[in-house]
Chains A and B, each alone.
Chain A
Amino acid sequence: MHGAPFLKATFASLAVVAVGIIGLPILIILFSTSPSKVYETLLETEVLNSLSLTFTCAFIATLIGMIFGTPLAYILARYQFPLKSFLQGLVDLPLVIPHPVAGIALLLGSSSIFGGHWSFIGNWSAIVTAMLFVSFPLFVNPLQEAFHSIPREMEWTSRTLGIGPWSTFFRVSFPLVRRSLLVGALMMWARGISEFGAIVMLTYNPKVTSVLIYDRFTTGGLEEALPVAVVLIWISIIFFVFLRTLQKGRGVSAGN
């Protein structure tokens, strides 16, 4: 930026507007409730249960996403096959369809697959499924890009050095995408925590935090909903700052 003061000033002004669009509403929410009210809310069993349910379900959804999404990302990055573009589009679909529609699709899908043997209603598995569905592309897409950026020659070299395909994957490819994998997982987890539309179509109870906020808003108004929202935002901020610090501290950027 040296010698480009006008560019720097213009970009900085535009960036301030962007940060303001995101930051101002959050700041207003955070300071719209007294700290004592936030503390009281945090001690409510219903709030604690919903927070624990939300974070746990988002974590399970992320784990499942990692187990199934990593091979999918590798296949999409490395191989050419018929209907690949279709598959790619399918992976991206949850980003564009309205989430209540995703909820309806999952509801219909589960009843046609499992029939009367198993129901999403009242079940935490519904929450995990909804979270997994809407956040899956956020994990797969960056990971696919990361696999794609590894030169094939690196994997080929490993093979000619006597290393089999599995070992090559875990000793060469996997370490090189570690950063993208962690970032993708973090994004997936975060997206899961914030999900409302798809979850509420599948099951209202047990209540994840987003549903609890909605529930309190419709029954007790803004005054009831706001403290829970503030608690969720604070916990999310603390988690994200902690994880980003951890990520930097461990130097997971090796190879990038």
Chain B
Amino acid sequence: MLEIKDFRRDLSDFTIEVEELSIKQGETYALLGPSGAGKTQFLLSIAGFTSLQNGIIRVAGRDVSQSPPENRDISIIFQNPSLFPHLDVRRNIEFGNRKTLTPELLIELLDLADILDIPIRQLSGGQTQLVALARALTPQPRVLLMDEPFSALDGQTRRLLINRFKMVQKQLGTTCLLVTHNLEDCVSLADKVGILEKGSLVESGNTKHIFNSPGSAEIASFLGLENLFPGTVQYETAEVQLSFDCEGFPATFNSEHNILHVLARNEGLAYALIRPQDITLSTAQPISTSALNVLPGTIVDSLEQRSIFMLTVDTGLRFKVMVTPQSFRELNLSNQKAVFLSFKASAIKIYQ
């Protein structure tokens, strides 16, 4: 539905270059990236507000690269919802010229009937963003661009809005390109994820895949993935060992099986990533286990997060470990309790 090819736009200090990006009808693609990576500028170029140095943008097969914004069949929602303050809610929703959807349908779908007569300045943050969403969807655009649309909202309102948005998107089949730096938005909404760094799309693919196997340590860190430890890769004769230059952590990950998973080819700084769900926790030292990495430690923190306990275990390095409430009770876990962590060598991903 939205296809971008050989996109190039020069900014003052770097160039946004996207070789290929394709989003199918009804799909949501989340674009992540640090501040100043060019995400918003990328959206503005797709919407037609800035000219490209090169590239083709196609909406439903039609090349819109040279079309003005009003003829692109693309709507946009900003973090600042930019409702027109001189118009009431209804006239905001009915503002667009191409009213292919009756506003009444959106008013019903987004449950806006009760606020139609409220002056714009009296709307809450969530209501404002819902009205902006209804206004953007009234022309039934083929593509909806969203620039951090939920970032100014509190958690509960955010979830409510995301749920309503998903419902409406499913009903209308709108293709969506979302810029965000909130991982929750990303996981809840996106079918695909891309990461933009200094104008380059350094990673792009299925959301689950990207989160399970990020392509680099920077991306893993950016995605907020836990248990990412810096260390150094050292070649010692025939065997590769990974030693961590972290104070208080006495040993290297001593499994030669790690070699199997070492992607690093050069000596020097590297990162090891062990996902919290891949670590097994026990109160006694495991004796016969296939996991060769066994580390003693102490629980220093436990936090209940949506039917799961996230423990922080100090082994010299601080590991995040996930356990179910059932395990938490049965193992009688608590802060300061001595425990053992074990994980398979194959669970360690090394990035350099």
Chain A residues proximal to chain B, CB less than 8 Å: 151, 153-154, 156-165, 171-172, 175-176, 254-255
Contact = CB atoms under 8 A, between A and B. Distances in A.
Nearest to A161: B96
Interface in B47-73: 47-49, 68-72
A4 to B, nearest CB: 28
Contacts of B47: 156, 159-160
B213 to A, nearest CB: 36
B80 A161 contact: no
Nearest to A158: B95
B179 to A, nearest CB: 13
Contacts of B68: 159, 164-165
A159 B69 contact: yes
B72 A160 contact: yes
Nearest to B141: A160
B75 interface: yes
Contacts of B219: none
B90 interface: no
Nearest to B49: A156
Contact of B82 (A153, A162, A164, A165): A153
A175 B86 contact: yes
A161 B68 CA distance: 12
A162 B139 contact: yes
Contacts of A163: 70, 95-97
B85 A157 contact: no
Nearest to B99: A162
Contacts of B135: 157, 161
Interface in B21-68: 44, 47-49, 68
Contacts of B75: 160-161
B70 A176 contact: no
Nearest to B69: A159
B86 A154 contact: no
A27 to B, nearest CB: 40
A154 B84 contact: yes
A238 B132 CA distance: 45
Nearest to B78: A153
Contact of B78 (A157, A175, A255): A157
B197 to A, nearest CB: 25
B196 interface: no
B86 A161 contact: no
- Band of interface residues on B: 20 to 34
B209 interface: no
Query: Which 9 A-B residue pairings sit nearest by Cβ, starting from the closest?
Result: A161-B96, A162-B97, A159-B69, A255-B86, A153-B82, A162-B98, A255-B85, A154-B82, A153-B78
Given A157-B132, A176-B86, 7 more contacts: A154-B82, A158-B95, A160-B136, A163-B70, A163-B96, A163-B97, A176-B85
Contacts of A162: 70-71, 96-98, 139
A157 B97 contact: no
B76 interface: yes
A166 to B, nearest CB: 11
Interface string B80-112: 101011100000000111100000000000000
B80 A153 contact: yes
Contacts of B48: 159
A156 B68 CA distance: 11
A171 B78 CA distance: 20
Nearest to B85: A255
B74 interface: yes
A156 B69 contact: yes
Contact of A161 (B44, B49, B97): B97
Nearest to A168: B70
B82 A160 contact: no
A161 B135 CA distance: 8
Nearest to B71: A162
Contacts of B72: 160
Interface centre among B47, B84, B138 (most CB of A within 10 A): B84
Interface string B136-166: 1011010000000000000000000000000
A205 B197 CA distance: 70
Contacts of B141: 160
Contact of A254 (B80, B86, B98): B86
B139 A157 contact: no
A172 B70 CA distance: 15
A256 to B, nearest CB: 8
A64 to B, nearest CB: 27
B70 A157 contact: no
Contact of B76 (A151, A157, A176, A255): A157
A153 B68 CA distance: 16
A124 to B, nearest CB: 38
A254 B98 CA distance: 26
Contacts of B136: 157, 160-161
Nearest to B145: A160
8 contacts: A153-B78, A156-B49, A160-B136, A161-B96, A161-B135, A164-B68, A172-B84, A254-B85
Contacts of A151: 80, 82
